[in-house]
Amino acid sequence: MSDSTADTATPARPTPVDPRLLEILVCPVTKTELTYDRDAGELISRKAGLAYPIRDGIPIMLPDEARKLED
């Protein structure tokens, strides 16, 4: 059986978000500022306790799609 080396290889860095977008994006729930976690590819809203994913460099700013942060 062939081993799946592709799966174990280090994942490619997520496509970065346009810095001009980072200037204007806020958390859609609390309208407060976001922290950009470049390595995880997430925009984090501490106040709402949500992490918004980024897919292909496109931030997914939907509360339903966000990951809940454990505190």
Which positions touch other proteins (CB under 8 A)?
Answer: 18, 20-21, 24-29, 31, 33, 55-63, 65
The least distance separating other proteins from the CB of residue 66, rounded to whole angstroms, comes to 10
- Of the pair 7, 29, the CB lying nearest other proteins is at 29
Mention every residue, 6+ apart, whose C-beta is less than 8 A from residue 43: 17, 25, 34, 35, 36, 37, 51, 52, 54, 59, 61
The least distance separating other proteins from the CB of residue 60, rounded to whole angstroms, comes to 4
- Of the pair 14, 33, the CB lying nearest other proteins is at 33
CA distance linking residue 71 with residue 21, whole number of Å: 27
Residue 22 corresponds to which tokens in the numbers above? 């980072």
